Amino acid sequence: MSVPDDIARTGPDPHPVTGQPFLSPVPPGTGWPDDSATAVTPVAHTPEDVLELAASASSLAEVDARLSVCRACPRLVDWRETVARQGRRASFADQPYWGRPGPSFGDPTADTLIVGLAPAANGTNRTGRMFTGDASGDFLYAALHRTGYANQPTSVAAGDGLALTGLRIVASVRCAPPANAPTPLERATCATWLGRDLELLGDSLRVIMTLGAIGWQGVLAATSSLGWTVPKVRPKFGHAAETILVTPTGHPVRLVGCFHVSPHNTYTGRLTPQMLDEVLLSLRD
Ligand code: SF4
């Protein structure tokens, strides 16, 4: 499980905030803002590696570092790196692309977790930060600012000064998938990272909000495999749907659903700013 040295990279190109030049995909430990991995962070190449490296990660930061260099899903590794090297959106053609799995973002002491679906090819896969640099993120962070979780309404690039309080964001699949559609095997493999995250949070976790049905199902699968008590009849995802999960120590955790902040939902009015604000504010109840 060593860092591969055969990744063809392009660049260097200047980071949009710091101006530092980076190759694409970005080699770990080269100065990208908030990159918690280094050149010696162990790399998972198989689902079995993910199980081993997640289980032995002793902190949320270590989970983030390890998953941010993960190569366990060949199809997704190929897609994220191909986009980073030669599939860039024209408007970002002169920017470096992260091209790696997206680590969590937010307050490491938070008792509230937002679980999304997966990074966007030209969003998180470019910026290296959850929901950063695309229309979904614009919608989400504006709401997080209105509801008091974010210190600014925009999220342009890692290093732009954005900070969250009382809330952290993860995804149920950490690599950008073709057509936004991870396979069942990819979802199951990546659920191991989410499971370890939840395990390390332990009873400090109070609420999980999922954006979309896949995140909802991912949380139910991850918590079931951790031995949490999940309602016998699996609760169905819906906007503002809610159920209670119970950790092995008897600690209750609210699971709250919210329509995904994708342009498909927000441009059509299926999810409005008011609807999102109401769910976010309810997380404090
Ligand atoms: S989707 Fe998850 S498990 Fe698969 S390569 Fe990416 S980080 Fe690793």
Q: How far apart are CA 103 and CA 162, in angstroms?
A: 15
SS3 state of residue 75: helix
* 63 pLDDT more than 50: yes
Cβ of 258 less than 6 Å from ligand 1: no
Distance 273 CA to ligand 1 centre (A): 31
Residue 5 lies in a domain: no
* Residue 281 per-residue DSSP state: H
Mean pLDDT of 157-186: 96
Strand partners of residue 113: 168, 208
CA 72 to centroid of ligand 1, rounded, Å = 6
Q: Is there an atom of ligand 1 within 6 Å of 162 CB? A: no
Residue 3 is predicted with a pLDDT of 37
The mean predicted confidence, pLDDT, of the chain is: 94
CA gap 148, 103 in Å, rounded? 23
Whether 188 is in a domain gets the answer yes
Testing ligand 1's pocket by substitution, the residue of 46, 48, 50, 183 carrying the most ligand atoms inside 8 A of its CB is 50
Q: Is the pLDDT of residue 60 over 80?
A: yes
Give residue-wise pLDDT tens across range 73-118. Answer: 999 999 999 999 988 899 999 999 999 999 999 999 999 999 999 9
For ligand 1, atom 6, the nearest C-alpha belongs to 175
Q: 23-45, pLDDT tens digit by residue?
A: 999 999 999 999 999 999 999 99
Whether the per-residue pLDDT at 1 is higher than 60: the answer is no
Domain that holds residue 105: 10-282
Asked if residue 234 belongs to a domain, the reply is: yes
Question: Considering only CA atoms, which residue is closest to atom 4 of ligand 1?
Answer: 73
- End-to-end CA distance of the chain: give it in Å, rounded: 44
In a domain, 111, yes or no: yes
Nearest to 116 by CA among 144, 93, 95, 92: 144
The Cα–Cα gap between 158 and 261 comes to 20
Distance of CA 173 to the CA centre of its chain: 7
Domain count along the chain: 1
CA dist., res. 281 & res. 285, Å (int): 8
Q: Is the CB of 50 under 6 A from ligand 1?
A: yes
Q: Give 212 Cα–ligand 1 centroid separation in angstroms.
A: 19
167/251 Cα distance (integer angstroms)? 19
Residue 3 falls within a domain, yes or no? no
In a domain, 140, yes or no: yes
Q: What is the dihedral of CA 254, 210, 160, 80, to 10 degrees?
A: 140
Look at residue 213 and tell me if it is in a domain. Answer: yes
B/e letters for 205-241, b = 16+ CB within 10 Å, e = fewer, are: bbbbbbbbbbbbbbbbbbbeeeebebeeeebebebee
CATH number at residue 108: 3.40.470.10
Classified as helix, coil or strand, 250 is coil
Look up the pTM and report it: 0.95
